[in-house]
């Protein structure tokens, strides 16, 4: 029972989202003159669509010029798109909630803002739009990797320094361990010689020189 209530509540929360169109996380693209470019746009609606109307418009110095338009009857029916631009092709699909277009042979005059608009009668004509900016250049700019190279060099230097410190530490510890072992051997040898001398007679002990332990 509680699980059914929870699912019903989460479904109501999820369905609170109304019609929304999106051109992606990056709202602009830079392309070379003479190339082709995709103008992306997708839509989403929690309760679904019915006779969804959409269009693409270009902002020509403040005047909105319609590029294409269509009505999508349902989610599984492909629209009959009317195109008003000779170099534009509709490449979307209602099955994927995609209403993207492709612009061929881009010119400098094509640079500017393109608006993707949608209206859903099933949501009491709820509408939404998103803007995608097209930048046209003679040639694409080379990516400056200087900062990346510096960062990689610094990281490599730090790693190398850490390795050197660890090697030096290991060598020092090894030398200290060897020195401690040698000192222990010297102490044992010296103790054995002292016991031997203490066991000799007084006259022999006096005449015999004490052995020297060199370490």
The CATH number assigned to the domain holding 73 equals 2.60.40.10
What would the pLDDT profile of 81-93 be if each residue is shown by its tens digit? 999 999 999 999 9
Q: Where are the alpha helices (DSSP H) in the chain?
A: 2-14, 146-199, 202-207
What would the pLDDT profile of 29-83 be if each residue is shown by its tens digit? 999 999 999 999 999 999 999 999 999 999 999 999 999 999 999 999 999 999 9
CA-only gyration radius of the chain, Å:
41
Confidence of residue 14 (pLDDT cuts 50, 70, 90): very low
In a domain, 7, yes or no: no
Show the domain range for 147.
143-175
Residue 29 and residue 67 share a domain: yes
The residue-averaged pLDDT of 169-183 equals: 80
Residue 24 and residue 107 share a domain: yes
Q: Which of the two residues, 171 and 114, has the higher pLDDT score?
A: 114
Inter-residue contact 30 to 135 (CB < 8 Å): yes
- Residue 116's Cα: distance from chain center in Å? 27
> What tokens does 205 get?
């002990």
Q: What is the domain count for the chain?
A: 2
Q: Is the pLDDT of residue 7 over 50?
A: no
The residue-averaged pLDDT of 175-181 equals: 79
């Amino acid at each position: 029972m509680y699980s059914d209530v929870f699912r019903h509540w989460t479904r109501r929360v999820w369905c609170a989202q109304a019609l929304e169109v999106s051109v992606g996380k990056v709202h602009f693209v830079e392309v070379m003159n003479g190339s082709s470019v995709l103008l992306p746009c997708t839509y989403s609606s929690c309760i679904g669509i019915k006779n969804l109307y959409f269009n693409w418009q270009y902002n020509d110095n403040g005047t909105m010029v319609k590029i294409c338009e269509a009505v999508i009857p349902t989610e599984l029916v492909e629209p009959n798109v009317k195109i008003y631009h000779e170099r534009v092709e509709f490449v979307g699909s209602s099955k994927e909630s995609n209403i993207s277009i492709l612009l061929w042979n881009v010119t400098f005059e094509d640079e500017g803002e393109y608006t993707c608009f949608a209206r859903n009668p099933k949501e009491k004509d709820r509408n939404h739009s998103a803007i995608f900016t097209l930048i046209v250049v003679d040639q694409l700019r080379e990516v400056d990797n200087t900062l990346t190279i510096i960062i990689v060099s610094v990281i490599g230097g730090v790693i190398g320094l850490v390795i050197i410190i660890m090697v030096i530490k290991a060598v020092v510890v090894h030398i200290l361990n060897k020195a401690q072992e040698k000192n222990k051997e010297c102490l044992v040898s010296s103790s054995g010689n002292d016991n031997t001398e203490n066991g000799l007679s007084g006259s022999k002990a006096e005449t015999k020189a004490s052995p020297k332990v060199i370490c």
